[in-house]
Chain A
Amino acid sequence: MLKIEALEFSYPSVPASTMHFDLTVDVGEVLSLIGPSGSGKSTLLSLIAGFLPASGGRILVDDEPLHNLPVAERPVSIVFQQHNLFPHLDLYTNVALGIEPSLRLAPIQVEAVRGALARLGLEPMQRRKPGELSGGQRQRVALARALVRQRKILLLDEAFAALGPALRAELIELVKTLVAEHDMCALLVSHQPSDASIASARSAFICEGRVAAIAATAQLLAQSEPPQLRDYLGSG
C-alpha cells in the first residue's frame, strides 16, 4: 500500500504557496489524479519518484518510509508522456536497462526481458529502434520496462495523453491488468476525466497543490463540490 502523509513541497520561485498532499493507494489499485494544469499532479509524482525533495511529511510503501531514499532505490517506476526511451537503443536494450544499466544480464534476466516484451506483444520487434514505432508501441515498451523492474509503485505521468481515445483505453486496460497481476499500486495523472472513468474505481481531484476531493470516480465526476471541480469539468 502507498500512503502519503502531509507531504509538503514548495517551488523556490513561489515559496509562499506550499503544496500539501495526503492520500493512500491500495495494492492492485490504479488511482487517477485529475485536475487543471499547474495544480500539482505531476509535482506529486515527482515527489514520490524522488525527482523533487519534499520539505515535510512522509511517503510510505507497506509502512516503510521512502522519502529519504535516493531516486534509484525507491520502489518506483515512472512512465512519462514522451522521451521514455533512448532513441539510439533498440527495444530489447531499452527494456534491459530497467534491470541492469550495465546490461550484463544473467540468463534468467534475459528471459525476463523477453517475457515482458512478449507479454506486451513486442517480441517480434525487439531489435527495432523507438523511432520505428508508433506512439502506442513506444508506451508499451516503457510499460514493459516498468514490468521487468518489478517495483511496487507505478507512476503514469500523462503517459497516454498523446494517443487517440481507442488506443488510450486499450493501454489503460493493459495497465489495470498488469497492476492487478503484479500487485502494484499505480497513480495515473490525466487531463481526461474519461481516462479516470476507465482506469480507476477511485479518483482524486488535485487543485492548488492539494487533494481537493477523493471519491469513487463516477461519484467524483458527478459531484458539484468543490467549485473548482465544477469549473474543471465544465459542468457548472
Chain B
Amino acid sequence: MTMSRAMPASLVLAILALLVLSPMAGLLHLSALPGYEAVDPRFWENAYLRRVVFFSLWQALLSTLLSVLPAILVARAFAMQPQLPLRRLLLGLFALPLVVPAVVVVMAVVSVYGSNGWLPLGRSLYGINGILLAHVFFNLPLAVRLLLPQWQAIPQHHWQLGEQLGMNTWQRFRFIEWPMLRESVPGVSLLIFMLCLTSFAVVLTLGGGPRSTTVEVAIYQSLRFDFDPAQAVVLALLQLGLCMLVAMLTLKLQRMPAVEIALSIAYRHRALRLRWFDLGIILLATLYVGMPLTSLLIDALRGPLGQTLGDLRLWQALANTLFIGLSAALLSVTAGWFLLQYSASLAEQGHSRRARLVDLAGSIVYVVPPLVIGTGMFVLLAPHVDVFDWVYPIVIAINALMGLPFVIRCLGPAMRQNHARYHRLCQALALRGWHRFRHLEWPLLRRPLGLAIALVAVLAMGDLGVIALFGSTQSATLALMIYQQLGAYLVAQASVTAVLLLLLCLGVFALLERCIGGSRDAKN
C-alpha cells in the first residue's frame, strides 16, 4: 500500500523540486556570472538595497505589532462575551479578510482613507501609512481568529478558581490568560511578520516610490521596469535569506492553533464596566474591518457601473481569473492529496520524521516566496521562449504551489486521523482505490477538502504577484486589471472592478465550500 502511495507522491515531490529548485539554481548560477553582484560582499554598500531591506523589515515589524497587540484585546473581548448578540456574524466578518484579495483591500483602504474618503489622509496615505492600514486590515482579524481559541483551551476550573480566590482582572490575566497566550503569541507574530515581509500587492499599490519599497516589490520593479535581471537576482537571494531566517525562527517558536477552531467559550462573570470596555473594543475592531469594505461597495455603486461592466476586457479578465483560480485549486489539492496520503501512511508505520518532511516539502513556499520562484523562472526561460506566451501554465503552477501549505493545513489533520482510525479496517475489508475513496475518504474528508479547494481558488483568483510579473493585457486577471486601472488613475472604474472581484471570490468560495464540503449541518 505504501508503495502505491509513494509513486504519485514521489512524482509530486519531483515536480515541486523542479518548480522550486530549478529557478533557485538558475538564480544562483546567474549570480555567479560577471556583472551579477550577488556574491560580491560589497553589495551591501548599495544604499538602495540597504534602504529596501530596512524598509521591508520595518514595515513588517510595525504591521505585526499593530496587528497582534490590538488582536489580543479584541480576541479577549470576544472570549469574555460568549453571549454577545451577533457574535457569530461578527466573527464571520473577521474571517472575511482571509478570502478578500489584497488588491481589493487596497481599493477599500483608498476608499476610506483616500482624498475623497470618509477619513481622508491625503497624500500621506501612500507610503508607510497606507501599507500599515492595509496590513492591519488583513492581519488583525487573522490574529484574532488564531488567538481566540486559546481562551477555549483554558480549563473552566481555572476560571472558577480565579473567581473563588478573588483575583482581579489583572491577576486573572497574569495567572490564567497570559501563560496560555505567551505560548501562541510568538508563533502568530512570526506568521504575520512573514506575511507582511512577503506582501506584494499592498506595497506595490500603496507604497510611495523608492522610500517605501520592499524587497518583494523591488524584485518586480527590477524585472518589469528597470529590465535589470542582475539586480532582481540579488534581491531575490536577499529575500530568500530573510524568509529562511524568519521561517527557522517560526519553526523554533511555533505553536500554532489548528485550523479547525472552536469559537465558543463558556465563561460568565464580568463586571459591567469591563463588559462595556469589551463591547467598545469589539465595536472599534468591527468598524476597522467593516468600514473599508462598506465604503468600497458604496463607491462602486456610485461609480461608472454601466461603462465598466460594458467593457469586454473586464469579462475576458473575469474568465481568466476563474480559469487560473479553479485550475490552481484543482492542481494544488491533487498534489496535496497525494502528498498527504503518503505522509499519513508513513506516520502510521512509525516514520513520523519522514512524514513530517513530506509535509514540510509541501510547505516550501513559506520559505521560498513565489515572486522569487517567478523571478527564477523568468531569468531561466527568457533566453529560450517568450515567457509571456507561457503565462497560464506558469501562473497556475506557482499559484498551486502557493496554495499547497493551505491544503496541507486544512486537509492534513483530518487525513492523518482518518488513516490512523480506518486504515487497518480498510485492509481487513480489502477496501481500496475508488471504493475506499467513495465509502470512506469522500464522506469523511469532503468538509476540509471543500475548504482547501475554496481557499486556494480565491487566493489564486486574487493574486497580484505572479500575474503582474508574467501577465499582459490579453492575459490579465481582474486583480491585474485593477492595478492597471489604478495606474491609469481610473479609480472609479477600479472600485467597480474591485467589487466585482470581491463578489466573485466570495461567490466562488461559498459555492465550492458548499458543493464540495456539503451542508454545514451534515454529520459526516
A72–B155 CB distance below 8 A: no
A82 pairs with B163, CB closer than 8 A: no
Q: CB within 8 A of A72: which of B156, B158, B165, B176?
A: B165
The CA of A234 and the CA of B61, in the complex, are separated in Å by 65
Determine the chain B residues whose CB is within 8 A of the CB of A49 once the complex forms.
160, 164
- Using A88-B179, A101-B166, A101-B168 as known contacts, list a sample of 13 further A-B pairs with CB atoms less than 8 Å apart, ordered by residue number in A: A51-B160, A51-B163, A72-B163, A74-B164, A76-B164, A78-B161, A80-B157, A82-B157, A84-B161, A86-B175, A87-B179, A97-B167, A101-B175
Instruction: Decide yes or no whether B269 CB sits under 8 A from chain A.
Output: yes
Q: How large is the interface on B (under 10, 10 to 19, 20 to 34, 35 or more residues)?
A: 10 to 19
Output the nearest chain A residue to B156 by Cβ-Cβ distance.
A83
A–B pairs, 5, beta carbons within 8 Å: A49-B164, A78-B164, A83-B156, A97-B175, A101-B168
Contact A83 B158 (CB under 8 A): yes
Q: Quick one: which of A144-174 are within 8 Å of B by CB?
A: none
B164 touches A86 (CB 8 A): no
Say whether A134 faces chain B, with CB atoms less than 8 Å apart: no
User: Which of A71, A80, A82, A102 makes the CB contact (< 8 A) with B171?
Assistant: A102
| Cβ contact within 8 Å between A83 and B166 | no
Selected from B155, B165, B167, B269, the residue in CB contact (under 8 A) with A83 is: B155
**Which A residue's beta carbon lies closest to that of B166?**
A72
> Is B158 a contact of A97 with CB atoms below 8 Å?
no
- For B269, the closest partner residue in chain A by CB is A71
- A117-150 interface (Cβ within 8 A of B): none
Q: How far is the CB of A217 from chain B (nearest CB, A)?
A: 28
A→B interface (CB under 8 Å): 49-51, 71-74, 76-78, 80, 82-84, 86-89, 97-98, 101-102
Task: Determine the residue in chain A with the shortest Cβ distance to B160.
Answer: A51
What residues on A are CB-neighbors of B269 within 8 Å? 71
The reply to whether A71 and B175 form a contact with Cβ atoms under 8 Å apart is no
Instruction: Check B165–A98 contact: CB distance below 8 A.
Output: yes
Contacting pair A84 B168 (CB below 8 A) = no
Report the nearest B residue to A81, measured CB to CB.
B157
Please give, as numbers and ranges, the residues of chain A lying within 8 Å of B157 by CB-CB distance. 80, 82-84
Q: Is the CB of B176 within 8 A of A101?
A: no
Using A72-B163, A76-B164, A98-B165 as known contacts, say yes or no to A86 and B171 having CB atoms under 8 A apart. no
How far is the CB of A50 from the nearest CB of chain B, in Å? 8
Closest A residue to B155 by CB, please name it. A83
Select A77's contact among B164, B175, B179, beta carbons within 8 Å: B164
Residues of chain A lying within 8 A (CB to CB) of residue B164: 49-50, 71-72, 74, 76-78
Shortest beta-carbon distance from B350 to chain A in Å = 27
Scoring B162, B165, B179 by chain A CB atoms within 10 A of each residue's CB, the highest score goes to B165
Whether the Cβ atoms of B167 and A71 lie closer than 8 Å is no
Q: Which residues of A contact B162 (CB under 8 A)?
A: 101
Give CA–CA (A71, B157) in the complex, Å.
Answer: 13
Q: Are B168 and A71 in contact (CB under 8 A)?
A: no
**From residue B178, how far is it (CB to closest CB) to chain A in Å?**
9
With a cutoff of 8 Å between Cβ atoms, the chain A residues found around residue B158 in the complex are 83, 86
CA distance A83 to B180 in the complex (A): 14
Residues from chain B with Cβ under 8 Å of A101 in the complex: 162, 165-168, 171, 175
Alpha-carbon distance between A88 and B178 when the two chains are bound, in angstroms:
10
8 Å CB interface, B167-226 against A: 167-168, 171, 175-176, 179
CA–CA, A151 and B480, complex, Å: 70
Residue of B nearest to A74 (CB): B164
The CA-CA distance from A82 to B155 in the complex, in Å, is 9
- Of all chain B residues, the one with the shortest Cβ separation from A88 is B179
Residue of A nearest to B157 (CB): A83
B contact residues around A97 at 8 Å (CB): 165, 167, 175
Name the residue on A nearest B168 (C-beta).
A101
A193 to B167, CA, bound (A): 36
Residues of chain A within 8 A (CB-CB) of B167 are 97, 101
Question: Cα distance A86–B155 when bound, in Å?
Answer: 10
Chain B residue at minimum C-beta to C-beta distance from A93? B175
Tell me, rounded to whole Å, the shortest Cβ–Cβ distance linking A141 to chain B.
12
Contact A71 B179 (CB under 8 A): no
CA distance A87 to B180 in the complex (A): 10
Q: B160, B161, B166 — which one has the most chain A CB atoms within 10 A of its CB?
A: B161
Which residues of B sit under 8 angstroms from A72, Cβ to Cβ?
163-166
Residues of A within 8 A of B175 (CB): 86, 89, 97, 101
Q: Which residue of A lies closest to B154 (CB)?
A: A83
CA A175 to CA B175, docked complex, whole Å: 27
Q: How many whole Å from A139's CB to the nearest CB in chain B?
A: 13
The docked-state distance in angstroms from the alpha carbon of A73 to that of B175 is 20
Q: How distant is A20 from chain B, measured CB to nearest CB, in Å?
A: 23
Q: How far is the CB of A150 from chain B (nearest CB, A)?
A: 13
- A-B pairs, top 3 by smallest CB distance, nearest first, are A72-B166, A83-B155, A83-B157
Complex Cα gap A73–B157 (Å): 18
Which residues of chain A come closer than 8 Å to B166, judged between CB atoms? 72-73, 101
In the bound complex, CA of A97 to CA of B161 (Å): 10
Residues of B near A80 (CB, < 8 A) are: 157, 160
Chain B residues lying within 8 Å of A88, measured Cβ to Cβ, are 179
Contacts of A98 in B (CB 8 A): 165
Minimal beta-carbon separation of A135 from chain B (angstroms): 15
Residues in A whose Cβ lies below 8 Å from that of B163: 50-51, 71-72
- Can you list, as one digit per residue, whether each of B495-520 has a CB less than 8 Å from chain A (1) or not (0)? 00000000000000000000000000
Residues of A within 8 A of B171 (CB): 101-102
Interface string of B299-316 (1 = CB under 8 A from A): 000000000000000000
Name the B residues within 8 Å of A102 (CB-CB). Answer: 171
Tell whether, in the assembled complex, residue A86 and residue B160 are in contact, meaning their CB atoms are under 8 Å apart.
no
In the bound complex, CA of A84 to CA of B162 (Å): 10
Chain B CB within 10 Å — which of A74, A76, A86, A101 has the most? A101
* A49 CA to B156 CA, complexed, in Å: 14
A151 to B156, CA, bound (A): 22
Q: Give bound CA distance, A183 to B61, whole Å.
A: 59
Residues of B within 8 A of A51 (CB): 160, 163
Please, which residue of chain B has its CB at the minimum distance from the CB of A145?
B165
- A155 and chain B: residue at smallest CB distance: B164
Q: Which of B445-489 contact A (CB under 8 A)?
A: none
Nearest-CB residue, chain A, relative to B175: A86
Contact with A along B74-111 (1 / 0, CB 8 A): 00000000000000000000000000000000000000
- Shortest CB distance B184–A (Å): 14
Which residue of A has the minimal Cβ distance to B164? A71
Complexed CA–CA distance, A74 and B163 (Å): 11
Give the CA-CA distance A88 to B174 in the complex, in Å.
11
Q: How far is the CB of A78 from chain B (nearest CB, A)?
A: 6
User: CB within 8 Å of A: which of B132-175?
Assistant: 155-158, 160-168, 171, 175
